[in-house]
A and B are shown apart, each in its own frame.
Chain A
C-alpha cells in the first residue's frame, strides 16, 4: 500500500479526472432534466448513450473529423428521442416499458452495427481524440487551473451548457411552457401550448445531449469503442436528475460527485490498496443507490411525471 503517493499532485490529478469523467453523465443528465421537466421519463437513456457512442465513433472514424462524430451522435440522439416520443407522447403507452425497450434496442443495435462495420479484429480500431485545450491565463491558476481549465473542448462546452440550461429552463418563455407541460398539462393546453410538441422537444434535447454524452467516451476519453461501454451511466444520469431535483445547476454538482467516485476508483487502484479492484469498480453503483435513497423520500416529482396527456373528451 503506497499511501505516500497521496500528495497534492495526486489529489489534483484526481479532481481533474473527476471533471473529465463527470462530463458524459452530466450531458445525459442535462438532457434528461429537460425531458422530465416536460413530464416524460426516458429510461432509454442508456441505449441512447450507447448509440451516441457508436455513431460518434463511426462518424469520426469515417470522416477523420471529430466534430462529424459529434454531429452524427446528435442526429442519432434526436432520432431516438423521436422514437421514444412516438411511444410515450403519441401512442401513450407505459413509459417505463418503452424506455426499457429502447435501452435494449440501443444496446443491441450498437453492438450489432459495430460488429457489422468492423468485424472482429485483434487490434480494435482507434481514433485520435479531442486534445487537451488549456485556457490561456486561467490554466495557470494553481490547483483550479489544473482541474478546470486544462480540459478538452467538450468539457468547456458542457459547462457553458449548464449555465444556458439554467437560464432557458427558469427564465425563458420556452422553459416556462415546458415546465407547465410537466406539471399541469391541462393548464398548459388551455393556454394554447401544444403539449405533445413540447414533450417531443424535451425528448429531442434529451436524446441529443445523451447521445453526445455517450459519444464523449470514444471521442474525448478513450479513443475506442467497445460494446456496452457506457456501463450503466445512463441509469446513473437518471438518478442524478432526481438527486438534483430537476435543476441543471444542482445536476452539475451531482455529476461532479459521481465523476469523483469514478475517478476515485481509478486513483485508488494506483495506490495499490489491499482492496480487490472489482470491489472498487462497484463503488459508483453503490454510491448511486445510497444517494438515490437519501433523496427519494422527499423528492417532489413534476406533477404530470410519466403520465400521458389526453385532452378530456377525445
Chain B
C-alpha cells in the first residue's frame, strides 16, 4: 500500500482521469493549507495579503529571484526522490537531513584532502564522496532494519541528530578553517571545483541539471525489474519471500540508494552553493523534502512540480520574513498542514461523493 494514494494507475495506458484527480486534489490541499496559514496571520493581527504578496515577489519577482527558487528546488527535488524510493518500499526513512550532512562532510573532506589531484579526477571523486557519505549513513539504519528489525523512523531520526552534532564537531574542530577567525566553517574548496553557473549572475548551477537527470532516471527506474522488486517488497514482504526475493537485502539496497541520492544533494549544496562546510547545510531540507515527496504522490514528475512549489514557498518565505516581518516558521506550518490535508483528502472526497 503506498503512503497516501489508494489508487494504482493501470498499465500500460496512462490513466489521465486518475492523474487529473490527484492533481486537483493536491491543489485543493495546498490551497487549504495556505488559507490556514493566512488565518493564523490574521488572528495575530498581521496582514496575510502583504505577507503573501511579498512571498510571491520573493519567489518570482525577477530573473534573479526565479533563479533562486530553482536553486532551492534542487536539493528539495533530490531529497524528494531519495525519500520516494524508500517510501515506496514502505521504508520510513526520514534521515535525509543526516544523509545530506554526511554527503557534504565527506565530499568536502575529499576536496580538501586530495586538492592536488587534477580536476578531471577530483570533481568526480568529490561527487563519489558525497554519494558514499549519504549512502553509508543511510545504510546504518537500513541494515539495522533489515537484520535487527529496528524501527527505521527512530533510528533515522536519531542519526539526524547525531549527524548535526557531528557536523558541529567537525567545523569547530578537525575541519575548521585555520584562517577563519574561529568561525565554525571549513576552508573554501578550490575555485576550480566550483560548479559552473547556468545563468550568469545568479546562483543557479549544474547541480540543478543533476537533479533533473535524477528525475529522468527515476522515471526509468520504476519501469525496471529492480523497481518492480522494490515495489513488491513495499507491498508485501510475504509475497516478496514467496517469489524468491531476499527481503533483508532489498531493504538494505533501497536504503542505500536513498542515502546515496541524499548524499549527492549534500555534495550539490557544497559545490554549487556554499563552497565550504557550514553548520546551516541541510537545515530543514529533510522534513521539507518529505512533504515535497508526499505532495508529489511519490511520483518523479509529480515531485518535480511540488519541489518547484515548495522552493517558491521557501524563497518567498525568506523574503517575507525580511520584508513583511512574518516569521519564516509560517512555511513550516504550511508544510505540516499540507501533509495532513493530503492524507485526509481521499477521506474527504469519499465523504463528499456520498
Contact = CB atoms under 8 A, between A and B. Distances in A.
A87 B344 contact: yes
Chain A interface size, as a band, is 35 or more
A286 B335 CA distance: 29
B161 A102 contact: no
29 contacts: A47-B336, A90-B347, A93-B4, A93-B347, A94-B1, A100-B153, A100-B287, A100-B290, A102-B336, A104-B287, A104-B291, A104-B332, A104-B339, A108-B330, A108-B331, A111-B332, A232-B161, A238-B151, A276-B173, A278-B165, A282-B162, A289-B158, A289-B159, A292-B154, A293-B144, A296-B148, A297-B148, A297-B149, A299-B149
A149 interface: no
Nearest to A47: B336
A25 B44 CA distance: 32
Most B CB contacts (10 A, CB to CB) among A96, A101, A299 go to A101
Contacts of A111: 327, 329, 332
Interface residues of B, number: 48
A8 interface: no
Per DSSP, chain A at the interface is helix
B161 A112 contact: no
A49 B50 CA distance: 32
B330 A112 contact: yes
B281 to A, nearest CB: 15
A90 B148 CA distance: 33
A154 to B, nearest CB: 25
A96 B337 CA distance: 16
A279 interface: yes
Interface in A268-300: 276, 278-279, 281-282, 285-286, 288-289, 292-293, 296-297, 299
Contacts of B166: 278, 282
Given A91-B343, A97-B294, A276-B173, 6 more contacts: A93-B347, A105-B340, A108-B331, A231-B161, A239-B154, A292-B144
B151 A93 contact: no
Interface in B1-49: 1, 3-4, 40, 44, 46
A43 B287 CA distance: 14
A293 B150 contact: yes
A109 interface: yes
Contact of B336 (A106, A227, A279): A106
A105 B339 contact: yes
A33 interface: no
